[in-house]
Amino acid sequence: MPSNQPGEPPYYEIFRLNGRAERIHRYLVIFLHVIMAVELVFVINDGHWMHAFLLLAISSITLMPVVLGRRFQIYIPAEFQILAILFVFAALFLGEIHRYYDRLWWWDIALHASAGLLLGIFGFLLVYVLNENERAELSMRPRFIAFFAFLFSVAVSTLWEIFEFAMDQILGTNMQKPMLGDDSGLTDTMWDLIVNVIGALIISLLGWWYLVRGKRSFIEVWIAKFIDRNPRLFSRYDKHPQDGD
């Protein structure tokens, strides 16, 4: 990770992100919860209990990073929280409750591609934390970090498809939807996995390229913020990632 010269602000402040992302995150959470609270009144009045359950679940999920962060005293970059909240809102609120999956044929594909990207980014953050934590005693090269991020994204995406299948079988939901004339949901599942893999591959290759070239990326911005706010998790706080490919 590029270092700062003495007297320079932390790296992420060069991009003038200090405080701005946190404010956006706070206002976004408030705005979305107001929308969902109004929606909750209507769905309860209409007796749509499944939608009411989904709204409560969405509210809980969007607040989880803040609650867990305070509970375990770990700072999660606000930019990542914003993307995750928007994804959950688009997938459950717009997709399931307002049936965007049925209205827009590309909605499901776009969300799974986005999931591949987000999970790949999270995989990079996770493996970097392990790489820098003194208790893990690891020293991983950029190509392994990228490979781990890719496999992490694909694995979580696969587990999600298993979850969708289980929900359809147990609760009779329709999470695995008909596609291209296939009512079994198999085509939908395979395309979901394919676009997840593509998204994971893109972010993994970009992350690897940035690491070996020493280029500055938004992933490094988030990593820098994470390290700066969570110094107790790291033993090599002021050292750079190992060079090489």
Residues 162-192: pLDDT tens digits?
A: 888 887 788 776 677 767 676 776 888 888 8
Contact 46, 205 (CB under 8 A): no
> Looking at per-residue confidence, does 56 or 66 come out higher?
56
User: 86: Cβ–Cβ under 8 A, 6 or more apart, which residues?
Assistant: 28
| Model confidence pLDDT, tens digit, residues 150-165 | 999 999 989 988 888 8
28's CB contacts (< 8 A; 6+ apart) are: 82, 85, 86
Secondary structure of 66-124 as H, E, C letters: HHHHHHHCCCCCHHHHHHHHHHHHHHHHHHHHCCHHHHCCCHHHHHHHHHHHHHHHHHH
Q: Which helix (H) or strand (E) holds 181?
A: none
Q: Is the pLDDT of residue 240 over 60?
A: no
Structure pTM? 0.72
